[in-house]
């Protein structure tokens, strides 16, 4: 398996405030990723690794609100942002 590069993910609400305790999961992709779900910290951030490829991430708030976003894997300093409605 191609080595995954660590990436920062941030979940925000509709007003741009960080969402703590959101669930972040890679739900599909062009390379294998483990079936683990991350929890965002107080800053709304989580850290995950994405190998090179294209992936769909889902963020779900504790109250069930969901959002998905596409992300390109591999090394990058760009933070992946998921904004809940």
Binding residues vs another protein (CB under 8 A): 1, 3-4, 6, 23, 25-41, 45-49, 56, 58, 60, 62, 66
Structure tokens at 61: 């708030």
User: In whole angstroms, how close is the CB of 79 to another protein at the nearest point?
Assistant: 13
Length, in residues, of the chain: 85
User: In whole angstroms, how close is the CB of 75 to another protein at the nearest point?
Assistant: 12
Q: Please, which residue, 60 or 82, has the CB nearer to another protein?
A: 60
C-alpha–C-alpha distance, residues 7 and 26, integer Å:
12
């Amino acid at each position: 398996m191609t080595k995954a590069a660590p990436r920062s993910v941030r979940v925000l609400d509709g007003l741009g405030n960080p969402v703590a305790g959101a669930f972040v999961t890679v739900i599909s992709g062009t390379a294998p990723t483990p079936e683990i779900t991350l929890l965002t910290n107080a800053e709304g951030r989580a850290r995950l690794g994405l190998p090179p490829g294209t992936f769909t991430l889902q963020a779900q708030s504790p109250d069930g609100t969901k959002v998905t976003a596409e992300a390109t894997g591999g090394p990058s300093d760009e933070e992946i942002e998921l904004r809940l409605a």
